[in-house]
Amino acid sequence: MAGKEDVLTRPAIDAALAELPDWRYRLGGLVTVYKAPTAAGALALIAAVGQIAEEQNHHPDLDWRYNRVFIRYTSHDAGSEVSSRDVAAATAASTAAADAAAVAEPGLYRTMELAIDTDAPEAISEVWRVALGYRKGRHGDLVDPYGRGPALWFQETPSPNANRIHVDVHRSLAESGPAIGKTAATGALMNHDHAPNWVVVTDSQGNRLCLCTEAGHEPDLGD
């Protein structure tokens, strides 16, 4: 089992990713997408990744979509952060993908969060946790224990926006440019004050979303 002392620092994660070009860092995990030649090939890759998981006793979140396999590794026993176990598992999965002639498409791995502007998160978080059947996450957020629904977090602010609920769309910094450019081309208002961490997008009716990257996201190393 991993513990907080096993959580990798952000420089250590970046150094590991330099040797893992198929993978990206995302909200306490390592993520990627593999495109296999066929749906059957994707299933074979899932079986291979499953075998690796059993051998290493470290299991990823997997999502199969025809000939694509979405994979996320995190160390839940280390506070849902990245540990050396995730790096080892991602390395082995990359080898299995190469053996299966699968091509990495990490830019397809998008992560969605819902954010609520509030001046008192503690006054409302329990309502949402119970109603959604979620559990508490890494930094006061709420997460689906089965990884199916989007996370929910509370953006604490003394002056909540009139539209209190907005969507955060997380992409890797390496792949964020085209998405930002295409969104700007729709005529939306783009606020880059916090870039590259996030760009605030406002549509013509005042609804907001944020296009986010891993920039500025540091692992929780505890006290």
pLDDT at 116: 97
pLDDT at 33: 98
Superfamily of domain 111-212: 2,3-Dihydroxybiphenyl 1,2-Dioxygenase, domain 1 (3.10.180.10)
Confidence of residue 147 (pLDDT cuts 50, 70, 90): confident
Q: What's the whole-number mean pLDDT along residues 145-157?
A: 93
As a whole-number percent, the residues of the chain with pLDDT over 90 amount to 87
Q: Where are the domains of the chain?
A: 4-108, 111-212
| Tokens matching residue 220 | 């929780």
pLDDT at 3: 65
pLDDT of residue 223 exceeding 80: no
pLDDT tens per residue, range 67-126: 999 999 999 999 999 999 999 999 999 999 999 999 999 999 999 999 999 999 999 999
Given 2.40.30.10, 3.40.50.410, 3.30.1360.20, 3.40.190.10, which CATH number is that of 4-108? 3.30.1360.20
pLDDT at 219: 87
pLDDT of residue 149 exceeding 90: yes
Which amino acid is it at 19?
A: E
Per the CB < 8 A criterion, the answer to whether 33 and 108 are in contact is yes
